[in-house]
Amino acid sequence: MTDPSPRVAVIGAGMVGRAHANAYRNAATVFASGRPAPRLVAIADAHEPFAADAATRYGFERTETDWRAVIDAPDIDAVTVAVANNLHREIVEAALAAGKHVLCEKPLAPSIDDAQAMVDAAAATDRVAAVGFTFRRSPAINAIREQVRDGGLGRVRHIVGNYFTDYGFDPQRPMSWRYLGGPGSGALADIGSHLVDLAEFFCGPTTGVQGASMSTLVTSRPKPLGVAVGHAGGVELSDERVPVENEDICTFTTTYAGGTLGTFSVSRVAFGHANTLRLELFCENGTASFDLTRPGEFSIIDGTPGQSVNGARQVFIGPWHPYVARALPMDFPTVGHGQNDFFVFQARAFLDQIAGIEELPPCPDLAHGLHNLRVLDAVVAATDKPVQL
């Protein structure tokens, strides 16, 4: 007898919700064959045209405009939560209480208290309850990690991470939930949470946070008269402007066991950088770097070649690196892959966890999401007081 197809739903049909919907549609096509394809039951969004468009594009059976209909549905086994951060707790707690498996987008919650309540709810069930940090599924990032842990690079001494975006650069971009919530809930939570997670992916748990600074450059935004997808504009704007409550830019440093130092910078107002994540790892025996604008490769320099020909080497990701073999239709170097593929790999890992299959590394649990929030809170607490010169 074959295993039944897991019945899935996505709550949220905006930019990230569509990434998850596409991931479920393709999850059965990657890695070991023979797994039943998930049954794409429902996609929900309060703005019905978004849900209808996503359902048509990705093959979901029905749409809902109220997330509660998904939670109450007996024909759904697992849900992805991809909505505004302040809605995560209520939806996740309800889903777990209804006996559903949950994959919740990062950051886990708007506050430590909310996140702790979600962790407690997960502990009271036997359901899989995971948080989505998709860059953990990058083949190049995992290839560098292998060089740190098992290869010649050795322990990380200093990690530098930048995540630059420009979705907030235009002061006429409409107000949305991303600009509300107080210090730490802006660029830090949105994209800085990824850097915090990736640094720990390489260096282990954060032991300290120092020297944080935040700045809000666009202090108000026009109130939209319609609904925009993701970071996009394209909607009619009112003359009323609404105050921005959180940061456009954040910089901070961190420490890890053994004296490793991290230096990080995030921005949502970096003109010309739509989605630029960069990592530099300075290790005991060499250096490696990753740039999301070139996701199918990484750079490494070590002492292997002779001095006269030594220098940074470009390494194209291939089937001998993690997540490539049997994951891409053409799984050899230079064919290319990108961030959408990371979502597919994550969806497959989540579905395998539900089935009790251990082929892939599991998705981080909600306790990991809570820990990530504690580090973000520490960044806010470490914000420097201005010194006038």
Same domain membership, residue 221 and residue 188: yes
Count the domains in the chain.
Answer: 2
Residue 261 is part of which domain span?
139-294+296-336
Same domain membership, residue 190 and residue 233: yes
> Considering the domain boundaries, does residue 371 fall inside one?
no
User: What is the pLDDT averaged over residues 11-15?
Assistant: 95
Same domain membership, residue 324 and residue 258: yes
> Considering the domain boundaries, does residue 382 fall inside one?
no
DSSP-assigned letter for residue 178: G
> Considering the domain boundaries, does residue 58 fall inside one?
yes
Same domain membership, residue 329 and residue 262: yes
Same domain membership, residue 164 and residue 104: no
> Considering the domain boundaries, does residue 274 fall inside one?
yes
Same domain membership, residue 248 and residue 177: yes
Cα pseudo-dihedral 248, 253, 255, 256, rounded to 10? 50
- Give CA separation, 112 vs 40, 178, 210, 281, in Å: 32, 18, 20, 30
pLDDT at 231: 66
> Considering the domain boundaries, does residue 367 fall inside one?
no
Residue 233 has pLDDT above 70, yes or no: no
Q: Which of 107, 135, 163 is the last residue of a domain?
A: 135
What are the tokens at 156? Answer: 């990380």
pLDDT at 1: 35
Same domain membership, residue 181 and residue 68: no
User: Confidence class of residue 199 from pLDDT cuts 50, 70 and 90?
Assistant: very high
Report which secondary-structure segment, H or E, holds 316: strand 313-316
> Considering the domain boundaries, does residue 374 fall inside one?
no
pLDDT at 384: 78
User: What is the pLDDT averaged over residues 336-343?
Assistant: 96
Residue 334 has pLDDT above 50, yes or no: yes
- Among 59, 21, 7, which Cα is nearest to 346's? 21
- Among 255, 256, 274, 277, which Cα is nearest to 266's? 277
Question: Could you tell me where the DSSP H helices lie in 135-209?
Answer: 139-149, 187, 193-203
The CATH number of residue 113's host domain is: 3.40.50.720
pLDDT at 306: 87
Same domain membership, residue 116 and residue 28: yes
Same domain membership, residue 153 and residue 118: no
Q: What are the pLDDT digits (tens) for 40-79? A: 999 999 999 999 999 999 999 999 999 999 999 999 999 9
Q: What are the pLDDT digits (tens) for 344-379? A: 999 999 999 999 999 999 999 999 999 999 999 999
Q: What are the pLDDT digits (tens) for 23-33? A: 999 999 999 88
Q: Which of 95, 110, 135 is the last residue of a domain?
A: 135
Same domain membership, residue 315 and residue 182: yes
The residues near 354 (Cβ < 8 Å, ≥ 6 apart) are 6, 77, 78, 101, 128
- Backbone dihedral region of 114: left (phi > 0), alpha (psi from -120 to 50 degrees) or beta? alpha
CA–CA separation, 153 vs 86, rounded Å? 41
Within a 13 Å sphere around the CA of 184, how many CA atoms are in the beta-carbon half? 19
Same domain membership, residue 198 and residue 102: no
Q: Whole-model pTM above 0.85?
A: yes
> Considering the domain boundaries, does residue 380 fall inside one?
no
Residue 151 has pLDDT above 60, yes or no: yes
The CATH number of residue 252's host domain is: 3.30.360.10
| Mean pLDDT, all residues of the chain | 95
